[in-house]
Amino acid sequence: MPRTEFTARLKASQQLLGTFVKTPTSHASEIFGGAGFDFVVIDEEHAPIDRFTTDQILLGCRANDIAGLVRVPSSAPSAIQSVLDCGASGVLVPHVASVEI
């Protein structure tokens, strides 16, 4: 699903189907895309996934029309920018306690 379609459906509160990916390969994202899932969350916080692997998984997402979100390991701007540079459709930031920086 192209990023714009995913964003529009999310904003419209439409039902979306997704799951977490914790394996450091693109295979899971390709399989979930082929199975009709709308998105996957690549878990950099709790899985052995580095920037190179994230890039590979996101490539698999784009090739199979599935949105790739990334749960980054921290709220550090460099962590967020890194996954956006790789082409993530969105970012989940852990341990956010307030809207203040």
pLDDT tens-place values along the chain, 101 residues long: 566 789 899 999 999 999 999 999 999 999 999 999 999 999 999 999 999 999 999 999 999 999 999 999 999 999 999 999 999 999 999 999 888 86
Strand blocks (E) in 1-101: 18-21, 39-43, 67-71, 90-92
Instruction: Identify the pLDDT of residue 99.
Output: 85
Answer whether residue 98 is part of any domain: no
The backbone torsions φ and ψ at residue 49, rounded to the nearest 5 degrees and listed phi first, read -120, 120
Query: In CATH, what number is assigned to the domain containing residue 85?
Result: 3.20.20.60
Position 8 in a domain? yes
DSSP 38: S
> Annotated catalytic sites, by residue?
46
Give, in order, the Cα–Cα distances in Å from 51 to each of 11, 36, 90.
28, 26, 15
Residue 16: domain span: 3-92
Number of domains observed in the structure of the chain: 1
**Domain-embedded: residue 101:** no
